[in-house]
Chain A
């Protein structure tokens, strides 16, 4: 399965507190929202399928990192391949990998091509240019309150980040 996803952007995200049905949110393009957590930050995100969920989770995380600069330099492609025991663990690994590449190499993909994505395995190409300068560091993606639920409309996930 191959899905192309546009560059992560904050423009689609929902204002917390707005009155939306969760089912509609899941179907909405680019759905993620920041939710309350006293010490750290958390997002809820969704999508009609796993590819969209994983893309929107990445969008939400990049939104939290608050990119300060525009992408620059040549377009590069990097490959991600990882496996986990369950879909929640896979989501943590995926976001952790993206945060690591953003922090150390400045890679923030403008496009993600999923070559393979199941509950326990992901293979994807990250296509984009380098961006340096984030307002907030993501120290880690945690397993606390982590959830990925499948509903009639698709998937909904909650992820807490240590910042």
Chain B
């Protein structure tokens, strides 16, 4: 039984690896398509978040940990990171508009 679970453990990592490489290829391919900028931005940011959650979820085993640990990590990083960026971005946009005038 122990061998069986470890066998699927290896397989899970190789599947994760191939998935991450495929998402990376898609992101690099965005360089060669001429979509409107908001579409490119959306695809790239979503792909980035998908990659980040796959790495933390499967390579770092976060998906299989207790909710308490997931909340500690996600709350501090996602919330603080987002709040910091949103607060700064409002100011940055204002500076941009001022310098454009």
Do A and B make up one complex? no
Residues on A lying within 8 angstroms of B by beta carbon are none
Q: List residues of B whose CB falls within 8 A of some A CB.
A: none
